[in-house]
Structure 1
Amino acid sequence: MRLVTRLLSLLLACLLVGLQPACATPRTAQPVTAPKVIFFDVNETLLDLESMRQSVGAALGGRQELLPLWFSTMLHYSLVETVTGSYHDFGAVGTAALMMVAENNGIALSQEQARAAIVKPLLALPAHPDVREGLRALKEQGYTLVTLTNSSHRAVQTQLENAGLTGFFTRNLSIEDIQVYKPDLRAYRWAAEQMGVKPEDAVLVAAHGWDVAGAKAAGFQAIFVARPGQSLYPLAAAPDQVVKDIQALAEVLGKRP
């Protein structure tokens, strides 16, 4: 029961990201200590989702403004999968979520059309302009870089290859191995175990308030990348640092002892 309650709380955090109650003040962030491993979220943190607007918008009858709703619905139901002890890969959840958004907005969309609008474009996302130089600088500083994603192994490998980022990472970790989606705390603790580090010796870098909330609750340090349209959940622990992009991240961590 406590596990279900915790997961439902995290689900609510995801749904409320960006809402800023007047009485809510994030806890003060602490300075980042030099991590042994830097874990990176992939979609939106490293890869730019803007190129998906055309395919998803076309599938939704030209309603490109529904893309954020689709993404949040996909996240919502990935957590439903975890809470209920079920598992389908992120692509399947994303397809189902797109069909739900279409139905709720009176748009006719088949499963085949939904999958075509998501899977191929998602695998071909470009890196944000700041990513390669930022990752290169972090590697030169001696950091161990690892991806930690809700996408499947096959998907993230293809994404990184197509974006030209494979050479920067020591490992690519997918929750597919444990079939528990972030921000469940088990996902972060499992990742730390895989790399042989304590949670406090790791940092998660993410552009999503829900991911930062999960990492902090699991004992990680966390750095929020303030991509356009993203914000922190004000009732969760504050990240240890906020940066505008990955190049700024490299500058921040390059100054750590």
Structure 2
Amino acid sequence: MTITTCIFDAYGTLFDVAAAARLAAEEPGQDDWAAKWPALAADWRAKQLQYTWLRAITGEHCDFWQVTRDGLDWALERQELDGNPELRERLLALYWELQAYPEVPEMLAALKSAGLNTAILSNGSPDMLNGAVGSAGLEALLDDVLSVESVGIFKPARQVYDLVGQRFGCTPEQVLFVSSNGWDAAGASGYGFRTVWVNRASEPVDRLPARPGEVLSDLTRIPDLAGA
């Protein structure tokens, strides 16, 4: 069946989640902690995701901004940086302005030129997502930004993937779903989407009941896979 709709995870897929820590470390006067930014970014992202899974399991939903702050607080404490409130506020501010990966604008433009629907489906809260999309200048290249806040549970719950068909009137087989998270791509494959895992770090495939349909190192080939 022909692909009509291309759906993208946001954080780590379109937007570089390590950018906040990297940019903060590059600012003047940050030499005392700058060497720690890769570990800080990795810890922050890991805890952010873990908290979404745990909250989904326990039914204690909150918005993504809360788990983003909670994950950062854990990461700062682990790196012995929790006594630096100015750094915390700077990192949180930068998270609203994450950089898009370099290939993103051209890739999305190719999909739009081919007449395909394009949208984000993310754990992010609407305000966070709109901030990132606006900062990256992607508004004209996306038909919609779908957030889990409309169903009150994080991915990979099936209710989240249901949002795509509800919005675009398509079947799962008509959707190409793209995520940098292996577990998300697997969950979407199990749902019935055609999937791409953007595996920038060359990690092993997760041992889950479903597997990504394609594995790429970046987003450059997405228009080809979508038939654009």
TM over 0.5: yes
Residue correspondence of structure 1 range 194-205 to structure 2 within 5 A? 194-205=167-178
Look up the SS of the partner of 2:195 in the other structure. strand
Secondary structure of the equivalent of 2:118? strand
Distance change in 2, residues 1:114/1:174 (3 Å): farther
Residue 252 of structure 1: aligned partner: 225
Work out the CA distance in 2 between the residues paired with 1:151 and 1:48: 14
3-state SS of 1:197 partner: coil
**Deviation readout 1:131-188 (Å, 9 max, x if unpaired):** 1111111111111111101111111111111101110111110001111111122211
Residues 1:72 and 2:46 are matched in the alignment: yes
Matched, 1:220 2:193: yes
The residue number in structure 1 matching 2:72 is: 98
**Partner secondary structure for residue 49 of structure 1:** coil
Q: Tell me, which stretches of 5 or more residues in structure 1 are unaligned?
A: 1-32
> Aligned pair in 2 of structure 1 residues 177, 143: CA closer, same or farther (>3 Å)?
same
Alignment RMSD, CA only? 2.4
1:49 pairs, out of 17, 35, 40, with 17
> Does residue 161 in structure 1 map to residue 170 in structure 2?
no
- Indicate the larger mover: 84-93 or 226-235: 226-235
The C-alpha deviation readout for 1:101-142, integer Å capped at 9, x for no partner, is 3334444347x6575244321111121111111111111111
Whether contact under 8 Å (1:99, 1:114) holds in the other structure is no
Using the TM superposition, give the Cα deviation of residue 236 of structure 1 relative to its aligned residue in structure 2, in angstroms: 4.2
Identity over the aligned pairs, expressed in percent?
27
Alignment of 1:163-182 (within 5 A): 163-182=136-155
Amino acid corresponding to residue 76 of structure 1 in structure 2: Q
The structure with higher relative contact order (CA 8 Å, sep 6+) is: 1
Measure how far apart 1:205 and its partner are. Answer: 0.7
1:130 to 103, 107, 111: 103
1:189 paired with 2:162, answer yes
Look up the SS of the partner of 2:183 in the other structure.
helix
Please tell me whether the aligned partners of residues 216 and 237 of structure 1 are also in contact (alpha carbons under 8 angstroms).
yes
Instruction: Supply the distance in 2 between the matched residues of 1:103 and 1:199 (Cα, whole angstroms).
Output: 42
Letter in 1 for 2:123: N
The residue aligned with 1:86 is: 60
In 2, distance between residues paired with 1:197 and 1:251? 20
